[in-house]
Amino acid sequence: MLASKTPVSLHHRIVAAGQRRRCVGGSERKPQDRHFTQPLESLWRYSPRIPPLPAAAATGRDAKSTWQPPVLENAAFEEYYKVQQIVHKEEWDAFMSVLRTPLPATFRINACCQFYKDICSKLENDFRRYLESEVSSEYGEDAIRPLPWYPGNLAWHLNFSRKELRKNQALESFHEFLKHESEVGNITRQEAVSMVPPLFLNVQPDHHILDKAYKDTCKPQGLEFDRILCDVPCSGDGTIRKGHEMWRKWNSGMGNQLHLLQVNIAMRGIALLKVGERMVYSTCSMNPVENEAVVAELLRRSGNSVELLDVSSELPELVRRPGLSTWKVQDRGSWFQTHDDVPHDRKNLVLPSMFPSSNGTEESHTVRGDVEVNIDNRSSFLRNCNIEETSKINHDTDGLSINSNKKLDCTSNILNSKFPLHRCMRIVPHDQNSGAFFIAVLHKLSPLNGCQIQGTKIQHPHAKGIIVQPQKEHEPETRLYETILTRQQNNVSKVVDAAEVLGRQQNLSIDNQTSNDNSTEVEMVFNDVESSRAESGDMKLQKQSRWKGVDPVLVFKDEVVIKSIISFFGIKESFPVQGHLVTRSTDNARRIYYVSKSVKKILELNGEVGEQLKIVSLGIKMFESHRSKDCFSCAYRLSYEGLSLLLPYVSKRILYASPLDFHRLLQYRSINFAHFVDARFGEEAASLMPGCCVVVLLEGHKHVDSICKDPSTIAIVCWRGKGTMNVMVSPPDRKDLLERMAYRFGLKACTEED
C-alpha cells in the first residue's frame, strides 16, 4: 500500500486494502453495552465488579464437557529449528519455555492524534502507579512500562496477555480505557515486534511510502517511492505465542511454499524504489527459507544495484541478533544442503534460491569495504551491539564471510551464503519477552536493468492447487502501514499487478508541497485485469463502477453546491477545493470526501486507463448533506472527521466557548441559548443564522485570530437550531472529549442520567 509520509502527520496516505490483516492486540470494534460516565480518574478506581458465577449454575453444566489444556508441542517444529541452530544449544530450553507462554499485550500511542500528550501523561502518572500498586504481586513491579526502544515512550508493554487483560477484574477498568482509546483512534493495540519495521524506514516528512505493491518492470518506471515497507505474507510461526493453532498445524512446507512469492514481492518493491532510498523487508517467521534465503536471492538478482545495510547503530535499545549465514532446506522430512541433493522429481518445488549458496542467478553483489562479522550463526547478541565490530576480517574474493576464529574447511558440507546476511536482524522471543521477527534493510544504489527485472512477476509457477494463507496479523492504523496485496485466483495465491498501469501512462510526480494533504487516505485493491483505455484528458469516471459491489468514485462537480459551501462557511481561497472533492454516490451525493493532490492525480490516471485500480475507500469525509428546512442557503454541513483539516481555512460561522460552556455542550448535547453560563455566548449563538457551525474551545489567553490555526485547538461541529445549539459528534468522540476536559480542567463528566 501507499502509506503516510510520516508517523506523526499522515500525508498523501494511500492504503491498498486487498487482504487486510488485523494486528496483534488490534482493537475490538464492537458496540459498547455501556459508556463509563464517571471522570477518567475514577474510571479505573471504582469500576463495578462482576459477581462470581452461582454454584448452582456451575454444577448445572454438562459434566461430560471437561476442558483440556491445549497441547503446546510439535516435534517437527523443534527438530526443524534445532537443525537450523537459530539459538544456542544452551538457550534452547529457555527459548521453548517462552514460546509456550502467552504473549504480553502491547500498544502504541498514535502521535498524530490530538490528545497524545494527555494520554502519555495519564499512563505515566495515573495508570502506571495504580497498576503497580494493585497487581504488582501478580505481574511484577513493572506491570506496565514503555518499550525502551520505541521513540518518545509512545509504545507500552504490559506484563499480562490480552486474555488476562479481559478476564482479570483488577484490570477491567484499564481494559475499558484501552478499548475506548483504540475505538477513537488514539492508540493502536499491536504486537511489539510489528512496530519495529517502520522505525527502520527512517521516514521523512516529504516521503511517499509504499507498503507492498509491484509493477510490470518491463515498462518505464513512473510511480516510484522514497520508502517501501515489504512486510510479506509468511508462515507466521513467529506469532506462535498468540494462538495455539500454530502448534498443531505447523510444518516446514509452509515456508517453502511461500519462498518464491516473497522473493517476487520484494523484487517488485525494489523496482518501485527510488535510487538512493531504502526498503525494509520483514516477516513474522523464524524460517531462514522465508528470511535470509529471500534476502540473498534479492541481492543475487539485483547485483550491484542494491546493498544490505548495517543498521545496528539504530534503535540501540532493541535487542536483536544477526541473520544466519547457513541453513538447510527440508522437504517431506528429508534434509538438503544444496539443490543438487534434491531428488529430480522435487527440484521444481524445492528451488535453488532456497539454499545458502545458490548458483541459480548470477552472484555479482559487491560488498563495499571491509566487513567485520562473526559468521557463527549460533552466536547470540544478548544486547544490541555493532554487528560490524564483532570480528575484524575482510571478505575473500568470493565475498564469503568467515569467522576469524574458524577457518573455512573447503571439504566441509556446511555451505555459507556469500552475502553479508549478518546485517539482517532476528528478534527472538526470550530476549525481550516478545514474538519472533525478521527484518532486513535494503538500499538501492542504482536502477535495475531489464535482465534483473525480467521474469519476476508475482506468481508461483509450481503452485497449482496450492492456496497460500498468510498467518501474520496486521491491524489497520491511523498509522504508517497496513496490508498485503494478494488474492486467490484459480487456487493459486498471487499478488496482482496494477502499478504498471499508472507508471506506463505518465511519469507521476507526486507533489508533497501541498499543506492540505494531511490525513488523506485511499484504500484500494489492485487487480491484474487487461489494460483498457478510457478517454484521456479530464478524469472521466463511469457512472457505474466496473467493479461488482463497489461504488464508483466520482468527482463532485456541482458548481452551485460547491460555491454555496464555500460562501456559507467562508472557506478561504488558499484551501484547494476544485477537483479535490469526490463522492461515491451516482445521484444525490450524501457524503463528500476530500482528497489530496497526490491522490487526485492517481485517480485521474486510474480514470484514463479504465479503472484498473479497484478503490474501496478514499479521502477524508469533509461534508455531509442534511435535510433540515431551516437552512436553505447550504445543503451540506461540516463533518467532524474533516474539521481539523478545514478549520484553519474557515472564516465564517465560528463561535468561541469558555471551557465550562464547551463542557456543557458535550455533556448535554443540546442546550437552549438562554441556558449557557456565558450569556454573551448564548446571545452570539442566538444571533447566528440557522444551520451548521463550529464551536471552538477558548483556552487561557489565546487570541481568537490565531486559535483556529493552532493544531492543538479543540473544536466541534454543531447545529444552530430554532432555539438550541446541538452537538454533531459521535458518542465515542464526545466521550473522548469529555474525558480530556475532565483531565485538563477538572470538570465533572456526565452521568448516565445526563
For the chain, what is the total number of helices (H) and then of strands (E)? 22, 29
Residue with cell 506469532: 239
In angstroms, the CA 308 to CA 562 distance is 51
Helices (H), 55-161: 55-59, 75-84, 92-99, 116-122, 128-139
3-state secondary structure of 328: coil
Helix 731-745 and helix 172-183: axis angle, to 10°?
120
284 is catalytic: yes
- C-alpha torsion 295→363→497→252, nearest 10: -40
* Cα dihedral 77→83→87→91 (10° resolution): 80
Give backbone dihedrals phi and psi of 43, rounded to 5 degrees, phi first. -60, -40
Q: How far apart are the first and last CA of the chain?
A: 44
How many CB atoms within 10 Å of residue 340?
10
According to the annotation, is 528 in a ligand binding site? Answer: no
Question: Nearest 5°: CA angle at 548, between 543 and 553?
Answer: 40
CA 297/CA 175 separation, integer angstroms: 44
* Interacting residues of 554 by C-beta distance below 8 A, sequence separation 6+: 541, 543, 582, 583, 584, 585, 586, 589
- Of 112, 113, 234, 284, which residue is the catalytic one? 284
Rounded Cα distance, 575 and 691, in Å: 22
* 51 contact partners, CB below 8 Å, separation of at least 6: none
Cβ burial of 306 (10 Å; 0-12, 13-18, 19+) is buried
Q: How far apart are CA 499 and CA 202, in angstroms?
A: 24
Catalytic annotation, residues = 284
Q: State the binding site for S-adenosyl-L-methionine.
A: 231
